[in-house]
Amino acid sequence: MNNAIPYKIYLTEEQMPKAWYNLRADMKNKPAPLINPGTGQPVTFEDLKPVFCDELIKQELDETTPFIPIPDDIRSFYKMYRPSPLVRAYCLEEKLKTPAKIYYKFEGNNTSGSHKLNSAIAQAFYAKHQGLKGVTTETGAGQWGTALSMACGYLGLDCQVYMVKVSYEQKPFRREVMRTYGAKVTPSPSDTTDVGRKILAEFPGTTGSLGCAISEAVEAAVTQEGYRYVLGSVLNQVLLHQSVIGLETKAAMDLYGIKPDVIIGCAGGGSNLGGLIAPFMGEKLRGEADYQIIAVEPAACPSLTRGVYAYDFCDTGHVCPMAKMYTLGSGFIPAPNHAGGLRYHGMSTTLSQLYHDGLMEARAVDQISVFEAAEEFARVEGILPAPESSHAIRVALDEAIRCRETGEEKTILFGLTGTGYFDLVAYEKFHNGEMSDYIPTDEELQASFATLPKIG
């Protein structure tokens, strides 16, 4: 054991990043622009103004400014739960008897339980700064909704969350956390919007979907004076805010002269992975260093490993702009037995471009092996991980075991995005042997690809 490196590296508050890093500024091949489905042209500031906050649109469209200062009020909020620890997994290394050195950046030490809070406070701040009354959003399992509720509760901003009805009913505890922070949580579909009423009339027994919740949240934003819609992943602005993860990680590693060989992150819409790798990928893009970067996705929802790189709708309701990304088709829904999260059909345009350019790899993993990794990790490192995060754990374990076999002393870094305290129904299924793997067939994917718009 190298005593020079502590179990947990904490930056001081002074050492925390003072600006977010905009990875796009260093990309030669910029991500393809969002397309307005009405005009078929790249979206403009004016196109997005009714839906998003002004400052966030500027960040969304800014491909050239490398560093964007973090406002003092956001830094103050960050100090409530950041810097997050960079953990040296001594116990895990010993258990695996691997010569590899394993590090993870742990983002779960806050009540929202995940990294989502990093962008939630930024988006809520800009809404408040613009003089808005409130924001609307959708949430599935509830991580993002909880994070946004916390941010809005802190700033005194109204927060309206459309929660997929099946989650609203099956995850009452997530709902109660949001209520504790003063958010108004509505099961979706609801009778509070036109689109909700229409869906309820057509499918009276429906338990909802994320696509429907998005449509309701967007309608609620554009029909109420002083409201905007906010989103927790996929968008470039979200990756920008999440760069705080990678910047802190790199600063902590630099303090001790640590250089990772492999960087691993789970990928749904891409917010965590994009944030974690940002400064490392920046060095890679500028030719200053090289890193092996691995995106890990569920085999049940394999957008990078089995999707196509094409323009697609970002939402199932087709109300949002279209994006060029690795996608399974906007109608794709993972098998019902999938419990690992990361269910989005597409992937951040920035990450899609980087993957397309061969700057990162992707692996798809089966969920039973993911929960096995989660349990092994929990017992040795003491943290009960979120199923999402456990995708990264799975591949980190695989890499560390490979090092044991080859004798390589690689330095492995992965992102531990959050805790699994609200995912114990999935853990229970795993313990009871009721969990199964399901990988979509080629035929199913082909049928889903057929729904892609003809563009680009």
Q: Which residues bind a copy of itself (CB under 8 A)?
A: 6-8, 10, 12-13, 76-77, 79-81, 90-91, 109-111, 113, 150, 153-154, 172-173, 176-177, 179-182, 375, 378-384, 419, 421-422, 424, 427-428, 431
- Structure tokens, 98: 């691997």
Question: Which residue's CB is nearer to a copy of itself, number 109 or number 223?
Answer: 109
Helix 236-255 / helix 117-129 crossing angle, nearest 10 deg = 130
Overall residue count recorded for the chain in this entry: 456
* Minimum distance, C-beta of residue 382 to a copy of itself, in the bound complex (Å): 5
Longest Cα–Cα distance in the chain: 65
Question: Which residue's CB is nearer to a copy of itself, number 149 or number 215?
Answer: 149
- Structure tokens, 345: 């059909």
Question: Which residue's CB is nearer to a copy of itself, number 111 or number 224?
Answer: 111
Instruction: List the beta bridge partners of residue 102.
Output: 412
Among 146, 148, 136, CA closest to 111: 146
Among 243, 202, 449, CA closest to 350: 243
At which residue do the structure tokens 């509830």 appear? 142
Question: Which residue's CB is nearer to a copy of itself, number 290 or number 428?
Answer: 428
Question: Which residue's CB is nearer to a copy of itself, number 159 or number 234?
Answer: 159
* Minimum distance, C-beta of residue 38 to a copy of itself, in the bound complex (Å): 40
CB 314 within 8 A of CB 330: yes
Among 137, 115, 38, CA closest to 416: 115
* Minimum distance, C-beta of residue 40 to a copy of itself, in the bound complex (Å): 44
* Minimum distance, C-beta of residue 421 to a copy of itself, in the bound complex (Å): 4
* Minimum distance, C-beta of residue 148 to a copy of itself, in the bound complex (Å): 13
Question: Which residue's CB is nearer to a copy of itself, number 45 or number 173?
Answer: 173
Instruction: List the beta bridge partners of residue 302.
Output: none
* Minimum distance, C-beta of residue 78 to a copy of itself, in the bound complex (Å): 9
Question: Which residue's CB is nearer to a copy of itself, number 318 or number 429?
Answer: 429
* Alpha carbon distances (Å) from 145 to 166, 196, 219, 390: 15, 19, 17, 21
At which residue do the structure tokens 């305290």 appear? 421
Distance between CA atoms of residues 206 and 196, nearest Å = 11
Characterize the bridge pairing of strands 322-327 and 308-313. Answer: antiparallel
Backbone angles phi, psi at 399, to 5 degrees: -65, -40
Distance between CA atoms of residues 164 and 208, nearest Å = 5
362: helix, coil or strand?
A: strand
Question: Which residue's CB is nearer to a copy of itself, number 24 or number 101?
Answer: 101
* Minimum distance, C-beta of residue 17 to a copy of itself, in the bound complex (Å): 16
* Minimum distance, C-beta of residue 258 to a copy of itself, in the bound complex (Å): 17
